[in-house]
Amino acid sequence: MDKDTTGAATDLPVRLLLVSDTHVPLRARELPDELLRETDRADVVVHAGDWVDVATLNLLEARARRLVGVYGNNDGPELRARLPEMARVRLGGLRLGVVHETGAARGRETRCAQSYPDLDVLVFGHSHIPWDTVAPGGLRLLNPGSPTDRRRQPYCTYMTCTVADGVLGEVALHRLPRR
């Protein structure tokens, strides 16, 4: 039986919350209530950088059963001291990586497949634009968008999914109500 990095058996599905680019307090005073409720339900919260403030990291560390996060280009020295630039974990038998930036949209799949051949899924952020594609060789690329700063998108967003026995289950993109 396969085990994830916590030593838990992978028989049961692992529920993931994927989030990025929270930008608190620059883009929002606080995280949306819906996102916090989802944090409480998730087995693992994955944050792909641009937290901006340490308070958001502290909040998610306190609420999440497990947090996997990286720093982004807008994160200062305190966040960079506590978070890696790239994270790799095994969850429910799935090899998952997290980074903030992957470069331009054009050529992203090929570039990421070459850079991360040892992963099944790569979660990234930076653009605030939700993204769900499969690269050559099968690498799944997921960007949950931003729950606080929609930029050119119609909604602020985040993603949820499950993982069991090394397989990524249905990925759901959640739209948050406009504020």
pLDDT at 123: 98
Which residue did the predictor score with more confidence, 136 or 57? 57
Task: Please name the residues in contact with 122: beta carbons below 8 A apart, sequence gap of 6 or more.
Answer: 96, 97, 98, 99, 102, 112, 116, 139, 140, 141, 142
pLDDT at 5: 53
Question: Domain 14-176, what architecture?
Answer: 4-Layer Sandwich (3.60)
pLDDT-derived band at 84, boundaries 50, 70, 90: very high
Residues 179, 174: Cα–Cα separation, whole Å: 15
Residues 39, 44: Cα–Cα separation, whole Å: 8
Residues 127, 154: Cα–Cα separation, whole Å: 14
Its pTM stands at 0.92
- Domain spans of the chain, in order of start: 14-176
In this predicted model, what pLDDT tens digit does every residue of 17-58 receive, in sequence order? Answer: 999 999 998 778 899 999 999 999 999 999 999 999 999 999
- The mean pLDDT of 83-108, rounded to a whole number, is 97
| Residue 163: count of CB within 10 angstroms of its CB | 24
Residues 159, 129: Cα–Cα separation, whole Å: 12
Residue 59 corresponds to which tokens in the numbers above? Answer: 């909040």
Give the rounded percent of residues in the chain with a pLDDT score beyond 90.
86
Segment among 52-66, 125-139, 165-179 with least mean pLDDT: 165-179
Residues 94, 168: Cα–Cα separation, whole Å: 7
| Residue 153: count of CB within 10 angstroms of its CB | 15
In this model, does residue 3 exceed pLDDT 50?
A: no
At 42 the three-state DSSP class reads coil
pLDDT at 179: 64
For every residue of 79-108, DSSP letters joined together read HHHHS-SEEEEEETTEEEEEES----STTH
